[in-house]
Amino acid sequence: MQPILILLGALLVGALIYFSWLAAKKRREAFQAWATKNNWSYDPSRSREVYHQYQFLDKLRQGSNRYAFDIVRGEWKGRSAEGFTFHFETHSTDSKGNRRTHHHHFGVVLIQIEREFSELSIHPEGFFSKIGQFFGYDDIDFESVEFSKKFCVRAEDKKLAYDFCNTGMMEYLLQNPKTGLELEGNTLALYDTNRLDPDEIEPYLQHLSNIRGLMPEYLFRD
């Protein structure tokens, strides 16, 4: 009986490995097809260079062993753009002293805009943002009570936050309540809570274009 159980266990593990490999293969093929269609480049391999390039973004400074993969690069409506899945690790220890590694992934899509700005982040309000407020991290409030309840806004320059979060922008973001974004330098980035999928790239790029379009043009004048 025991040899049969061992064999069944081995077959199950083998099947899981195969289907995992098959899913990854289909995923890479879908990314490549999207990149080819849109005249973009695609690199499925792990890259720490992407982290070093964008490490000024707060979201990318979490945990350890940080790298990107499934990286697509190209041009969208005349702007340099990029998308990838980002990985980082955290660790925990159980009551017996055993250390566990936790792998985290989230998607990133970003564009380069016309001029550089100081740091600004907008994320849906949640448990961790409320904890941050408790420890003194400044969450900027706005005249729109609904917007202030839905989003946590932080910025080095409060005037930029108020200019960015104008009436049109607040109305748009309230229609897209899961939006998490950062602006720093000339990089405008959107975040997904899970790995980036090929069919999400174009909608996120359009979302970024809409956000850029709602930024007041006086912000781009000398």
> What pLDDT was estimated at residue 151?
95
pLDDT digits (tens, 9 = 90+) for 111-142: 999 999 999 999 998 744 554 454 445 689 89
- The predicted model gives 25-51 an average pLDDT of 94
Calculated CA dihedral for residues 90, 94, 98, 101, nearest 10 degrees: -20
Q: Which of 65, 70, 66 is nearest to 85 (CA)?
A: 70
> What pLDDT was estimated at residue 41?
97
- Residue 32: φ, ψ to 5°: -65, -40
For the whole model, what pTM was predicted? 0.85
Buried b (16+ CB within 10 A) or exposed e, 100-118: eeeeeebbbbbbebeeebe
Q: Are 66 and 86 in contact (CB under 8 A)?
A: yes
Q: How far apart are CA 174 and CA 172, in angstroms?
A: 5
User: What residues contact 32, with CB distance under 8 A and at least 6 apart?
Assistant: 42
DSSP 47: B
In percent, the amount of the chain with pLDDT more than 70 equals: 84
pLDDT at 150 over 90: yes
pLDDT at 110 over 60: yes
- The predicted model gives 185-208 an average pLDDT of 96
> What pLDDT was estimated at residue 123?
94
pLDDT digits (tens, 9 = 90+) for 86-108: 999 998 887 777 888 999 999 99
Q: How far apart are CA 2 and CA 56, in angstroms?
A: 55
CB atoms near residue 181 (< 10 Å): 21
DSSP character string of 53-97: HHTTSGGGGSSEEEEEEEEEEEEETTEEEEEEEEEEEEEEE-TT-
Q: What is the mean pLDDT of the chain?
A: 88
Calculated CA dihedral for residues 179, 28, 111, 104, nearest 10 degrees: 50
3-state secondary structure of 154: strand
pLDDT digits (tens, 9 = 90+) for 19-35: 455 667 888 899 999 99
pLDDT at 65 over 90: yes
- The predicted model gives 195-199 an average pLDDT of 95
pLDDT at 15 over 60: no
CB-count exposure of residue 202 (10 Å: 0-12, 13-18, 19+)? middle
Q: How far apart are CA 92 and CA 112, in angstroms?
A: 37
Six-digit token pair at 59?
A: 């979201």
